[in-house]
Amino acid sequence: MSDLDIALCDASIGDTPAERNFRREVDASLTAFKLSADEQPPWPTADGEWAYDAAIITGSQTAVYNHETWMETLAELLRDLHELDIPLLGVCWGHQFIAQTFGGCVSAMDEYELGYQQIERYDSSLLFADFPAEFIAFETHSDEVVRLPPNATELAGNNRSCQAFSLGTAYGVQFHPEYDLRTVKMVTDGKREEGVSESVVETVLTSATPSRHAKTQTVKRVFENFLSIVGQHQ
pLDDT value, residue 111: 84
pLDDT value, residue 16: 94
Give the Cα-Cα-Cα angle 7, 12, 15 (nearest 5 degrees): 110
pLDDT value, residue 124: 83
Q: H/E element holding 205?
A: helix 198-207
- Please identify which of the residues 92, 95, 162, 213 carries the catalytic annotation: 92
pLDDT value, residue 147: 97
pLDDT value, residue 5: 97
176 is catalytic: yes
pLDDT value, residue 136: 95
Q: Cα separation of 126 and 121, whole Å?
A: 12
Task: Read off the pTM.
Answer: 0.96
Angle between helices 69-83 and 93-101 in degrees, nearest 10? 70
Q: Give CATH superfamily name and number for 5-233.
A: Class I glutamine amidotransferase (GATase) domain (3.40.50.880)
Q: Is 67 left (phi over 0), alpha (psi -120 to 50) or beta?
A: left
**Cα torsion through 223, 226, 230, 232, rounded to 10:** 130
92 is catalytic: yes
- Please identify which of the residues 82, 95, 141, 176 carries the catalytic annotation: 176
pLDDT value, residue 177: 97
* pLDDT beneath 50, residues of the chain: none
pLDDT value, residue 42: 94
144 is catalytic: no
- pLDDT, one tens digit per residue, over 172-230 is 999 999 999 999 999 999 888 888 889 998 998 999 999 999 999 999 999 999 999 99
- Please identify which of the residues 113, 141, 178, 213 carries the catalytic annotation: 178
**Separation of CA 160 from chain center:** 17
